[in-house]
Amino acid sequence: MRGLKKSYGRFAALRGIDLEIRRGEIFALLGPNGAGKTTFVEILEGFRHRDGGDVTVLGIDPDHQPMALKTKIGIVLQSSGMDRYLNVAETVEMYSSYYPEPRPVAEILSLVGLEAKRDERVLRLSGGQQRRLDVAIALAGNPELLFLDEPTTGFDPSARREVWEVIKNLRGLGKTVVLTTHFMDEAQYLADRLAVIASGSIVAEGDPETLAGRNRMQATVRFTLPEGVAPPDRLNVTPLPGAIYEMGTTAVTRDLHDLTEWALGVGVELSDLRVERPSLEDVYLELTAEAAAESSESTS
């Protein structure tokens, strides 16, 4: 999609988004609440119409051929009910009956791990099980592309794990998955690629390891030295309280080599030796904070 825009009244929910999602990948859209994640996916799903820009989903413009698109995608909404009085198998069968080429129900239930619950009424399922049933319903039409809007928001850790495992399994089916989340660990665990959205704009895009040059940012080498031993000046080491030393570096391999060579030479042990990179969370918080500051400047 290019230059995707959407406003609600005077509020610009999306301010021109350019993004390409590749077939077969799990793509995460990461952003704080109110950043425009749901608006974004609902435009792709055909629920909302865009105000500007071009969008193609599986070669289809969602505004022009919504029906053609609906047979090829599966949607898990942020929160959506189902008939509480049908059982699990009936629910999936019902949704299967809407599609021209449904996937066999038994196969879907085993994919999401609900075979044992097939005769259980929906109202007796736990939160995690209902979420897995959501995914099962989204798989009913054997879609090429799956949208998951905040699939684990509001779940306890074990229910989150359940849902994560189900999503991981989808990779094996060759489906393209687009998920939105505001959890860093979720994006890191599941996504092949991710984009960070804040205040209606994409502020960074990449794979979880290298997002926003995370791998190239200055790393910190930290270690402790025995009392009375000082590191050589050429290594640019900063002493911290408690005989701990810190060395900032953008060339980790070389500087670490120098450090260990010196340590072996003088015969000291670098206890607690650690190399730390900024976490995805650090990067994310920095990016979204910048965007929030910019957007409040531009509106005021």
Partner 1 sequence: MNPLTQLRHQIRYINKAFWRNPASAFFTFAFPLMFLVIFTSLLGHHALRISPGRTIDVSTYYVASMGAYAVITACYNNIAIGLAIQRDSGVLKRTRGTPIPGGVYILARLVHALFVAVILVVITAAYGRLFYHSSLPTGVPLIEFLTMLLVGTLTFCSLGFAITCVIPNADAAPAVVNASILPLLFLSGVFIPITSTAPTWMVWVARIFPVRHFTLAMNAGFVGTTFNWMDVVVVAAWGIGGFVVSYRFFTWEPKR
**Cα 291 to chain centroid, rounded:** 18
Which ranges constitute the DSSP H helices of the chain?
A: 37-45, 66-70, 88-96, 105-111, 127-139, 157-171, 184-190, 252-266, 280-299
DSSP 82-119: --TTSBHHHHHHHHHTTSSSPPPHHHHHHHTT-GGGTT
Part of the chain binding partner 1 (CB under 8 A), chosen from 39-47, 181-189, 249-257, 259-267: 39-47
Shortest Cβ 283–partner 1 spacing (Å): 33
Please identify, using beta-carbon distances, which residue of 28 and 137 lies nearer to partner 1: 137
- Range 208-247 burial, b when 16+ CB lie within 10 A, else e: beebbebeeeebebbbebeeeeebeeeeebeeeeeeebeb
Please identify, using beta-carbon distances, which residue of 92 and 109 lies nearer to partner 1: 92
Please identify, using beta-carbon distances, which residue of 86 and 243 lies nearer to partner 1: 86
Torsion of CA 79, 83, 87, 91, to 10 degrees: -70
Among 70, 117, 175, 182, interactor with partner 1 by CB under 8 A: 70
Please name every residue paired with 158 in a beta bridge, in sequence order, or none if there are none: none
Contact status: 275 vs partner 1 (CB under 8 A)? no
In 3D space, the residue among 22, 65, 19 whose CA is nearest the CA of residue 41 turns out to be 19
Among 100, 157, 228, 267, interactor with partner 1 by CB under 8 A: 100
The CA radius of gyration of the chain, in Å to the nearest whole number, is: 24
Shortest Cβ 94–partner 1 spacing (Å): 5
Residue 240, phi then psi, degrees to nearest 5: -115, 165
Part of the chain binding partner 1 (CB under 8 A), chosen from 51-59, 69-77, 161-169, 284-292: 69-77
Contact status: 47 vs partner 1 (CB under 8 A)? yes
Contact status: 77 vs partner 1 (CB under 8 A)? yes
Contact status: 65 vs partner 1 (CB under 8 A)? no
What residues numbered 104-133 form the site for partner 1, per CB under 8 A? 121
Among 19, 21, 58, 82, interactor with partner 1 by CB under 8 A: 82
Contact status: 33 vs partner 1 (CB under 8 A)? no
* Distance (Å, whole) CA 62 – CA 222: 52
Contact status: 98 vs partner 1 (CB under 8 A)? yes
Total binding residues toward partner 1, as defined by CB under 8 A: 28
Among 12, 37, 89, 95, interactor with partner 1 by CB under 8 A: 95
Part of the chain binding partner 1 (CB under 8 A), chosen from 93-101, 204-212, 224-232, 239-247: 93-101
Contact status: 155 vs partner 1 (CB under 8 A)? no
Shortest Cβ 286–partner 1 spacing (Å): 33
Residue count (the chain): 300
Angle made by CA atoms 19, 25, 29, in degrees to the nearest 5? 45
Joined together, the tokens standing for residue 110 give 């085993």
Residues that bind partner 1 (CB under 8 A): 45-47, 67, 70-71, 73, 75, 77, 79-86, 90, 94-95, 97-100, 121, 137, 140-141
